[in-house]
Each structure stands twice: as C-alpha cells, then as structure tokens.
Amino acid sequence: KNEVEQSPQNLTAQEGEFITINCSYSVGISALHWLQQHPGGGIVSLFMLSSGKKKHGRLIATINIQEKHSSLHITASHPRDSAVYICAVFASGSRLTFGEGTQLTVNP
Amino acid sequence: NAGVTQTPKFQVLKTGQSMTLQCAQDMNHEYMSWYRQDPGMGLRLIHYSVGAGITDQGEVPNGYNVSRSTTEDFPLRLLSAAPSQTSVYFCASSSGHLNTEAFFGQGTRLTVV
C-alpha cells in the first residue's frame, strides 16, 4: 500500500461543477502539498499546508491531521482546470512522497 | 527570477550511452532533488542534496549519479542508459525547511532505445 493514496484516479466534470479530489496518507507528516501538472508536463505548487484550510481563487485545500486526510476543491470548474493534481507529503526530513495523481478533465 | 531551470526538455539515447541532465536554481535553495515520473506511479525520488557537497540516495538511485559542487547546480548523470530509464525526469528545489514551497523544473522526457 502506498503511503499516499489519491482518489479518484480519473475525474471528468462539466464546466461549472464543484470538484473534490481526496488524499489520504498513512504516515505522520509535517506538511502536505497539492501540485498541478498540465499537459506538456510542468509541475507547479498550488498549496502547502500543515493544518486547517487555504483558499486561492477558486481552489480550496483542507487538511485533517488527526484523520490523515486532505481534500482539494475546485469551485466553478473550467476547462483550463484540466490537469493532473498531485498530493505530496513531507513525511521525514526534507523528502516528499507523492500520490499517483488525479487526472481531471473538465468539459465545456 | 528564473526559478528552476532544467535542460534538455527532450532527449533520445541509445542503450549504453551516457548523458547529464542539468538543473540550476537561482533562489539560493539548500535542498534539491531529482525525481522520475512513470505512468501509473507517483514521482519517485532518485537522489537528493541538502546542500553543496552533500548528496544522498533516494528510492530509485541505481544507474544514476549526482554531484552538488555549488548551491545552484545539481546535475543528474546517467552512466550507461538502459530502456528502463525511459521516463520523465523532474528536478525540484526548496529552502529545505519543512513548511516551504517546492519549485519544479519543466521536466525532461528521456527515451532510451
């Protein structure tokens, strides 16, 4: 079993829908990252959080340390949100452990 | 501010050839790392460095070599390329403190034939 599990693996939505991507982890962590990878491959950091909730535009990330779970929400989804979303945790030292990613497709 | 610069973007090698993937950052980050990304798998750590002169192995180090002679540069060397090393490679850097953002290069798509 991977230390970081994401669900769903693939998600297709219609433009305007509210989207939730989940991340569960099995180890103690100091911080969790949500990353976005667009077609063409570049990876950008969306959020880094260690507790509570963060919001940036239409994106919201939450984390529950006790339950070892984080969610990434996208409100009013748009086709340009289509990408792979990756959860990664700092579990030990400065090393990141990554989930396999969630492929999101938003159709117009 | 360039961030993390990774070159080349694409490369095709023949089995047995060697090459170096370049990674440079201009943010004075102590921590740099190399990952490979394969279909159906999360990014896996190849090698990492917590500062100039210090490197260590990650999850999948075999067939790769690294050095960190300066804070800015962290090249990844493939000693004798094998088809199993066909992958997309990412370099990343961060300040090294636990609660800070990680920055990624644009990736290198490597094919070994």
Q: Which H/E stretch holds residue B8?
A: none
Of the pLDDT bands very low, low, confident and very high (cuts 50, 70, 90), residue B41 is: confident
Average pLDDT over residues B48-75: 95
Average pLDDT over residues B39-53: 90
Whether pLDDT at B1 is above 60: no
Confidence at residue A91, expressed as pLDDT on a 0 to 100 scale: 72
Measure the CA–CA gap between A62 and A8, rounded to whole angstroms: 17
Measured between CB atoms, which of B40, B102, B109 is closest to A45?
A: B102
> Residues with Cβ < 8 Å from A32, sequence gap 6 or more?
A23, A25, A48, A49, A50, A63, A70, A87, A88, A89, A90
Measure the CA–CA gap between A13 and A51, rounded to whole angstroms: 28
Confidence at residue B18, expressed as pLDDT on a 0 to 100 scale: 96
Average pLDDT over residues B36-55: 91
Average pLDDT over residues A60-86: 96
Confidence at residue B34, expressed as pLDDT on a 0 to 100 scale: 96
- Chain A CB within 8 Å of residue B94 CB: yes
> Residues with Cβ < 8 Å from A63, sequence gap 6 or more?
A32, A49, A50, A51, A52, A53, A69, A70
- Percentage of chain B beyond pLDDT 90 is 84
Chosen for mutation from B34, B43, B50 (greatest number of chain A CBs closer than 10 Å) is B43
| Cα Rg of chain A, angstroms | 13
B71-107 pLDDT, tens per residue? Answer: 999 999 999 999 999 999 999 998 866 567 889 999 9
Measured between CB atoms, which of A45, A86, A94 is closest to B31?
A: A94
Whether pLDDT at A73 is above 90: yes
Lowest mean pLDDT among B12-16, B17-21, B93-97, B106-110: B93-97
Cβ distance A96 to B45 less than 8 Å, yes or no, reads yes
Confidence at residue B94, expressed as pLDDT on a 0 to 100 scale: 87
DSSP code per residue over A40-79: T--EEEEEEESSEEEEETTEEEEEETTTTEEEEEESS--G
Confidence at residue A27, expressed as pLDDT on a 0 to 100 scale: 82
Measured between CB atoms, which of B101, B102, B107 is closest to A41?
A: B107
Q: Residue B97: helix, strand or coil by DSSP?
A: coil
Cβ distance A94 to B48 less than 8 Å, yes or no, reads yes
Confidence at residue A29, expressed as pLDDT on a 0 to 100 scale: 82
> Does residue A96 or residue A77 have the better pLDDT?
A77
- Chain A CB within 8 Å of residue B27 CB: no
Cβ distance A100 to B41 less than 8 Å, yes or no, reads yes
Cβ distance B42 to A4 less than 8 Å, yes or no, reads yes
Cβ distance B42 to A30 less than 8 Å, yes or no, reads no
Q: Is B27 left (phi over 0), alpha (psi -120 to 50) or beta?
A: alpha
> Does residue B2 or residue A55 have the better pLDDT?
A55
- Chain A CB within 8 Å of residue B102 CB: yes
* B39 token code pair: 């279909």
The DSSP call for residue B92 is E
- Chain B CB within 8 Å of residue A48 CB: yes
A18-55 pLDDT, tens per residue? Answer: 999 999 999 888 789 999 998 877 899 999 988 999 99
- Chain B CB within 8 Å of residue A46 CB: no
Whether pLDDT at A63 is above 80: yes
* B35 token code pair: 């990952």
Burial pattern B71-90, b for ≥16 Cβ within 10 A else e, equals bbebbbebeebeeebbbbbb
